[in-house]
Amino acid sequence: MTETDPTQIKGFDRARQAAARALTEDYVEMISDLAAEFGEARITDLAARLGVAHPTATKAVARLKREGLAISRPYRGVFLTEEGEALAETVRARHRVVVALLRAVGVPEEVAELDAEGIEHHVSSRTLAAFEAYLNRKTD
Amino acid sequence: MTETDPTQIKGFDRARQAAARALTEDYVEMISDLAAEFGEARITDLAARLGVAHPTATKAVARLKREGLAISRPYRGVFLTEEGEALAETVRARHRVVVALLRAVGVPEEVAELDAEGIEHHVSSRTLAAFEAYLNRKTD
DNA sequence: CCAAATTTGTAGCCAAAGCTACATTTCGCT
DNA sequence: AGCGAAATGTAGCTTTGGCTACAAATTTGG
Ligand SMILES: [Mn+2]
Ligand SMILES: [Mn+2]
Ligand SMILES: [Mn+2]
Ligand SMILES: [Mn+2]
């Protein structure tokens, strides 16, 4: 083979890392949402909203706790640490921008919401900045 | 909890399915690229370009064969079936549209290429259609 | 206040996708 | 032709993220 394009390898590597972070991001955002609505996030509610069995949610929460993003006691709700809440804010903001960008280029509301749930995790900070700039230009 | 928004669940489910397809899509596209360049795709080249160890590529190819997307004999190159080639075409086309859309809204070339590698797998056919329409409008 | 329903925890299974280490085959070159 | 290098295969380990089944705790309604 000839030389291998380093940009391409980097792209695949980036996609893999993003995929690895995706679960964490979605759980943290959801816990934050539930906390805002009900004051706390219950395992059952997390599982229901994410569409998984409850042991799957339990396992994910265990990882969040291990990573210092959440805390919880047995049979009680799950709460975000400061770090977790900060991440949630970032993720929520990015989610909104991605949906807005999709809407702005003509993607139907419903579809935009569905696709954004996956796309968001692969939008880098530089792409996000470009999206925001575009939306500002368009709004003015 | 109150009722659970079915759209949201659907979004997470869709993202999970897309993530599951992502590997297949990238491998098939890459095999097609290598076939165009060298006449065949070797395991070593696949591994090098995707940035993984060679047994990882071997395992992925085994799955493609299982799924009827590729064929190969021991110690020889990997080739796509008709179905595999068709998928490769679709994936390649979508990849190009995603990069073009990102560029069109102001994402720098290099960044667009990196992010597209992950984003592409979460772009549904309806969103793709919207992207194409937008690009056509903008070009005219 | 207690029994039933709900929620949560835990055990253990599976598949996917990565890795290293080592065996085998093929290729390139003298 | 044969030897060393390169490519490929294979074994086996790890982590992650799903799942079901069942046990234990908590909450609720009569
Ligand atoms: Mn998401
Ligand atoms: Mn989201
Ligand atoms: Mn890709
Ligand atoms: Mn691609």
Residue B123 is assigned to a structural domain of this protein: yes
CATH number of the domain where residue B81 is located: 1.10.10.10
Question: What's the total number of domains in chain A?
Answer: 1
pTM: 0.94
Residue B21 is assigned to a structural domain of this protein: yes
CA distance B45 to chain A (A): 7
Q: Is residue B55 pLDDT above 90, yes or no?
A: yes
pLDDT category of residue B90 using cuts at 50, 70 and 90: very high
Ligand nearest to the CA of B118: 3
Taking chain A (140 residues) in runs of 10, the rounded mean pLDDT of each run is 79 94 97 96 97 98 96 97 97 98 98 97 98 93
Residues 6+ away with beta carbon under 8 Å from A106: B130, B133, B134
Output the CA–CA distances (angstroms, integers) from residue B18 to B26, B89, B137, in the order listed.
12, 18, 28
Q: For residue range B108-125, what is the model confidence (pLDDT) as tens digits?
A: 999 999 999 999 999 999
Q: What is the pLDDT of residue B22?
A: 97
Residue A101 sits in which domain range? 12-139
Q: For residue range B35-47, what is the model confidence (pLDDT) as tens digits?
A: 999 999 999 999 9
The closest of B114, B133, B125 to A114, measured between CA atoms, is B125
Characterize the bridge pairing of strands A78-80 and B70-72. unpaired
- Expressed in angstroms and rounded, the spacing between residue A125 Cα and the centre of ligand 1 is 16
